[in-house]
Amino acid sequence: MTTYELMLIINPQLTDAEVGEAVDKAKKILTDVKGEVLAEDRLGRKKFSHAVGKNRDGFYVYMKVQVPRESVKAINHSLKLQETVLRSMLMKANAEPVKKA
């Protein structure tokens, strides 16, 4: 299994309970492909530099996950089908921390 970082931007018009449900759906997508959530951080509502659809802000959620490499395409597809998720990005995590110059 490979370690990835997943960033979700969830519709800001949802209540806190509905945001929790959207995060739980994302976790279910990951566990359905035999993945595992290592860490989760709900970063809260942040403003966009430009509108995404009619939204000027979104609720950000960061997750560190381990999933099989061959299931990445299916995860991305499933997240795009979620109506509550405005944007998602799944990227491979760096093995070592980035050093600042």
pLDDT tens for 9-58 read 999 999 999 999 999 999 999 999 999 999 999 999 999 888 888 888 99
Which pLDDT belongs to residue 53? Answer: 80
Q: What is the DSSP string of 20-32?
A: HHHHHHHHHHHHH
CATH T-level assignment (fold) for domain 2-92: Alpha-Beta Plaits (3.30.70)
Contact between residue 63 and residue 40 where contact means Cβ atoms under 8 Å apart: yes
98 confidence band (pLDDT: 50, 70, 90): low
Arithmetic mean of pLDDT over the chain? 89
Rounded distance between C-alpha atoms, residue 85 and residue 77, angstroms: 12
What's the chain's length in residues? 101
What's this model's pTM, rounded to 2 decimal places?
0.84
